[in-house]
Amino acid sequence: MLKPLRICACLLAAVLLSGMFPCQAAAVSTSATSAILMDVDSGRVLYEQNADAKMLIASTTKILTALVAIEEGDLSATVKVSREAAYTEGSSMYLKEGETVTLETLLYGLLLCSGNDAAVAVAEGVSGSVDKFVDQMNEKAKALGMNHSSFANPNGLDDEKHYSTARDMAILACAAVENETLVRIASTLQITIGGRTMTNHNKLLSYIDGCIGLKTGYTMAAGRTLVSCVERNGQRLVAVTLQDGNDWADHQALYEYGFAAYPISRAAVLGQPLETAEVLGGAEDTVPLVAAESFAWPLAEGEKLTTEVELDQPLTAPLSAGTRVGEAVFRLNGKEVGRVDLLCGAGVAPRLEPALHQLHLALPE
Question: Is the bond preceding 318 in cis, omega lying within 30 degrees of 0?
Answer: yes
199 three-class SS: strand
Query: Which residues touch 197 (CB under 8 Å, ≥6 apart)?
Result: 190, 191
217 three-class SS: strand
Nearest to 71, CA basis, from 16, 5, 127: 127
Query: Active site includes 304?
Result: no
Catalytic residue among 59, 82, 91, 164: 59
Does residue 27 come out as left (phi exceeding 0), alpha (psi in the -120 to 50 range) or beta?
beta
Catalytic residue among 42, 62, 91, 149: 62
Beta strands in 30-150 (DSSP E): 34-39, 45-49, 78-80, 100-102
Does residue 14 come out as left (phi exceeding 0), alpha (psi in the -120 to 50 range) or beta?
alpha
| Beta strands 273-280; 315-316: pairing state | parallel
Query: Active site includes 114?
Result: yes
Query: Active site includes 59?
Result: yes
Catalytic residue among 34, 42, 91, 114: 114
195 three-class SS: coil
Nearest to 121, CA basis, from 93, 90, 150: 93
Q: How many CB atoms lie within 10 A of CB 270?
A: 11
**What is the spatial distance between Cα 339 and Cα 317, in angstroms, rounded to a whole number?**
25
**What is the spatial distance between Cα 226 and Cα 129, in angstroms, rounded to a whole number?**
27
Query: Which residues are marked as active site?
Result: 59, 62, 114
